[in-house]
Amino acid sequence: MRRCDRVRKVRAALASAVAMLALTTGCTVHGQPMPQRPDLGALDIGGYSLDPLHEPAVDNEKYGRVMESIRLGEVMADPAEADSTLTFPMSGFTAVPLPTPAKAGAYLAAPVRPVLEKWGMLAGFAVGRADKDIERTPVVGAARLLTVLVLRFPASTAAQRAAEEIDSVDASVSPENVSVTIPEYPAAHGHWRPTVPTIAVSLAHESFVVTLLGGHTAADLTALTTLARKAFDAQLPRLRGFALTPREQLAALPLDRDGMVARMVPKAPGRWPFPAVAFGTEQENAGWKSAPQASGVVYGTHATLLYRGIGKPNPPELMAFNGLEALMRFPNVAAARTSFAKAQDRVDKDGRRSVPGPTGVPDVTCAKEPDGLTALPFNYSCTVWYGRYVAVLFGRDLHDFQQRVAAQYGLLVNSERGT
């Protein structure tokens, strides 16, 4: 199997698995339902623990850059604010932190990475959308596209120089590129190729650089510059409210927002999932061929909406990730139950087959993936509900996986009991 086919199949399966939780709808449920208080003694959890992990004390700027990037997610604009038709994700993972020049380089031309390193990029975040569902790699001209990147630098002067050089280095990749201007933003640096319906524009704002990567269905410069102008209109006001973490304090940023990561069963007993961002990138092309994934992080309320798509019903208020696995916290028990019910309804779709959940877990639905998807890093998936929380887990060995699922349920119960 070609690597690109493998990436696409994994991306599609993971997107479907998370979507069955995050993109839920349902009828209104009245009253204030309360979770059960089960006896956890009969659960088969193997070597796993029912006690939440304790957040480790660390002093590591690498982790701090990831956490600062996650914080940036709370002030990102949605591309749909610039063009209301942009409601479809451009990959299985729509909103992603970019903590290093290497990660940001997956969204930009390869020669731009040294520019980010030169001017000391500290953190970043990216959000991308398209106007149609793109199953495979986006084809230039086949859809309207926009990726918004916000990159943080140590100071405004560094951001200004970085914005200039990002544009000049990117433009130099092709001799056909010519400069473009955004009249409402004269400090912006942009370029395009007159025969290609794409545009790239970078603008320094205080210590940030906002970089836009837009695509249209025709080589229409007016449409492209209008898209850029509207994206800046949406993004810049949000940045004015962002409280920068001083560089010397990045390493001290807490790893776990609201105890979400601590409520997730670890991949191995006692092992804390430290924050990281990984990419399965087929080639560097403005992020349009990337499958980014953040792990060991918690998306805040706004970043969670960006991840799901703003306007979707029944949104969770927080989402935590440990590798491919996710934990969602909803505003109330009824909303979590609605999400879980939707997951149950989807189990037998897309060729998946129901399998028994672990004994003693009352609210769980599990499935075996189709045998033909050999590219997947898992064979089984389970969705667990308790109280305001819904978790999705993946595994290969059924027995160990069922023990992990049982442990996840017990963790949620104990976390709510305050033990």
3-state SS, the chain, equals CCHHHHHHHHHHHHHHHHHHHHCCCCCCCCCCCCCCCCCCCCCCCCCCCCCCCCCCCCCCHHHHHHHHHHHHHHHCCCHHHCCCCCCEECCCCCEEECCCHHHHHHHCCHHHHHHHHHCCCCEEEEEEEECCCCCCCCCCCCCCEEEEEEEECCCHHHHHHHHHHHHHHHHCCCCCCEEEEECCEEEEEEEECCCCCEEEEEEEECCEEEEEEEECCCCCHHHHHHHHHHHHHHHHHHHCCCCCCCHHHHHHCCCCHHHCHHHCCCCCCCCCCCCEEEECCCCCCCCCCCCEEEECEEECHHHHHHHHCCCCCCCCCEEEEECCEEEEECCCHHHHHHHHHHHHHHCCCCCCEEECCCCCCCCEEEEECCCCCCCCCCCEEEEEEECCEEEEEEECCHHHHHHHHHHHHHHHHHHHHCC
131 versus 142: the higher-pLDDT residue is: 131
Distance CA(38)–CA(360), nearest Å, equals 9
Distance CA(51)–CA(40), nearest Å, equals 12
Give pLDDT tens digits for 105-127. 888 888 999 999 999 999 999 99
pLDDT confidence of residue 138: 66
pLDDT confidence of residue 30: 45
Distance CA(34)–CA(349), nearest Å, equals 30
pLDDT confidence of residue 284: 45
Residue whose tokens read 């729509």 = 94
> Strand pairing partners for 189?
202
Go through 28-44 and write b for each residue having 16 or more CB atoms within 10 A of its CB, e for each that does not: eeeeeeebeebebeebe
Asked if residues 154 and 122 have their Cβ atoms less than 8 Å apart, the reply is: yes
- pLDDT-based confidence at residue 28 (cuts at 50, 70, 90): very low
Residues contacting 244, CB < 8 A, separation 6+: 152, 207
Query: Per CATH, the architecture of 61-239 is what?
Result: 3-Layer(aba) Sandwich (3.40)
Single-letter amino acid, residue 267: K
How many other CB atoms are found less than 10 A from the CB of residue 346? 19
The closest alpha carbon to 225, from 259, 294, 179, 270, belongs to 179
Q: Residue 135: phi, psi to the nearest 5?
A: -75, -35
- pLDDT-based confidence at residue 250 (cuts at 50, 70, 90): very high
Residue 218 has pLDDT above 70, yes or no: yes
CA dihedral for 411, 51, 264, 97, sign (positive or negative): positive
In the chain, domain spans: 3-56+256-417, 61-239
* Confidence (pTM): 0.88
Residues contacting 333, CB < 8 A, separation 6+: 32, 33, 34, 35, 387, 388
HSE-up (13 A, CA, CB side) for residue 303: 25
- pLDDT-based confidence at residue 20 (cuts at 50, 70, 90): very low
- pLDDT-based confidence at residue 36 (cuts at 50, 70, 90): low
Single-letter amino acid, residue 385: W
Q: With the CA atoms of 128, 134, 137 and 139 taken in that order, what torsion angle do they form, in degrees rounded to the nearest 10?
A: -90
Mean pLDDT for 334-349 is 85
- pLDDT-based confidence at residue 335 (cuts at 50, 70, 90): very high
Residue 73 has pLDDT above 80, yes or no: yes
Tokens of 36: 């059960």
Query: What average pLDDT does the chain have?
Result: 86
Tokens of 104: 């940001």
Mean pLDDT for 221-237 is 98
